[in-house]
Amino acid sequence: MGKKGIFDVVVVGAGPAGAMAAKTAAENGLDVLLIERRTQIGIPVQCAEGTSEEGLRILKDVLGEEIDPHWIAKQIEGVEIITPDRTIVTVEGKGYILERRILDRDLAIRAVRAGAEIVKGKAVGLVRDKEADCMVVNVVSSEQNYFFPAKIVIGADGPESKIGEWAGIDTKLNLSDKIIGKQYLIYSPELEGLDRVRCFLGDRVAPGGGYAWIFPKGKNGTANVGIGMFKNKLKEYGIPVPDYFLDVFIARVFSKYQIIEKTAGKIPGAPPSDTIADNVVLAGDAAGFVNPITGGGLRTGMESGKIAAEVAVAAISKGDTSKQGLADYKRRISLAFGKDNEQLLIMRRFSQTLKDEDYDDLGHFLQGMHLSSETSSVTLIRKLLFSNPGITARFAAFKVKNKL
């Protein structure tokens, strides 16, 4: 802690984004506190745990070290996208299923090893101390109140960030941009030998533009099997989470299975109104930094955490931790992945207008075509969505109508 009892940086949330921010800030000589509300970091696993070969390379680059083999549960050989009429579109390319409970814990350990302090507790408030020109994070731990002042607070506290809200940022998501995910770790003998991720589309699986997934893990016949649906569609059905749709999907796909674990969570389908405020930066899911189509956020979370910390280091060294002093964060995010995410968000919102017959038509056209995960995500999604001239024309009209 600094001379006046003020931390340089307090990071709220010890997921990959928060741990990366704390590690990077501490490595740059800052006094850093990392706050985590969960009793065990990485548990429960609220992620399908998949990443591409490029994602693993970026993870290595961001960390600046080799990948620990214990972080990888299984190598996969591609992705199968299955349309409502059971047409299979194959995207070739190596990928990996991770062990997030191990990875997340190890990232937090690296932050502590770099010099960050860690406190277990729940952030319940954020106020400005004008006299000290800092923010004060109120944390409840073991039924006691603590107050941690900081020159900069990095909010890595998940979708619809409370840190962002307390800093004056509108973090609420539209119902059509809020994705509710439900996932089971299941065992089935039918999973043994599966070496591809499978994604299922269509209203019979996940009405309203959602999808279901199977991410095989290890060699023991287990997989993360889940479903993501938009909150507005769930509201139409009068249910808060998509358990019913997931149960029906699993029963239809597997003849024999057992559920080992269950988990659920929110996925931000779009960024909040802003990602910075005076003395505050949002990173990872708190900033809506996920792939808007797949919901994947490990790569962007870690990248944004590192960038947030580097911007904090620069701002503190210049003595300007205002919103203007933190503005370089948005520029660097845009260069790293922000522009791609903006394009993918438009495509995802358009895809929510597609019907089952549209997916089937696309599947018939793409079946047998060589598609590779080595292609950039924007290019690949363009191929997947706009191979049909009629759909391309509808997309153009969609952009005009929505002034995009």
Instruction: Report the CATH number that the domain containing residue 154 is assigned in CATH.
Output: 3.50.50.60
Residue 3 has pLDDT above 60, yes or no: no
Q: What is the pLDDT of residue 291?
A: 92
Domain presence at residue 226: no
What is the percentage of the chain residues whose pLDDT exceeds 90? 77
**Residue 189 DSSP one-character state:** G
Q: 318 lies in a domain?
A: yes
Give this prediction's pTM: 0.94
Question: Rounded to the nearest 5°, which phi and psi values hold at 160?
Answer: 55, 55
| Domain presence at residue 284 | yes
**What amino acid is encoded at 285 in this protein?**
D
Mean pLDDT over 12-31 rounds to 97
Mean pLDDT for all residues in the chain: 93
Q: How far apart are CA 284 and CA 299, in angstroms?
A: 9
Phi (first) and psi of residue 81, to 5 degrees: -100, 120
User: Does position 229 have pLDDT exceeding 80, yes or no?
Assistant: yes
Distance CA 301, CA 289 (A): 6
199: CB partners within 8 A, 6+ apart: 79, 80, 81, 82, 211, 212, 213
Mapping DSSP to helix (H, G, I), strand (E, B) and coil, where does residue 254 land?
Answer: coil
Contacts for 256 with CB less than 8 Å, ≥ 6 apart: 188, 189, 190
Average pLDDT score over residue span 93-104: 93
Residue 4: pLDDT band (50, 70, 90) is low
In a domain, 404, yes or no: no
pLDDT value of position 129 = 93
In a domain, 22, yes or no: yes
> Rounded CA gap, 336 and 277, in Å?
20
Q: In the predicted model, is pLDDT for residue 203 greater than 70?
A: yes
Query: Is there a domain that residue 151 lies in?
Result: yes
Residues of the domain holding 331: 7-48+102-173+269-346
Does the CA dihedral 44-78-290-32 come out positive or negative? positive
Q: What is the pLDDT of residue 392?
A: 87
pLDDT tens profile 119-165: 999 999 999 999 888 999 999 998 799 999 999 999 999 999 999 99
Q: How many CB atoms lie within 10 A of CB 189?
A: 11
- Pull the structure tokens for residue 379: 């290019």
If one counts the domains in the chain, the total is 1
Nearest CA to 276 among 125, 172, 164?
164
Looking at residue 377, what is its pLDDT?
Answer: 75
Top pLDDT among 120 and 366 is at 120
Residue 1 has pLDDT above 60, yes or no: no
* pLDDT bucket at 42, cuts 50 / 70 / 90: confident
Residue 242 located in a structural domain: no
CA distance 83 to 270: 25
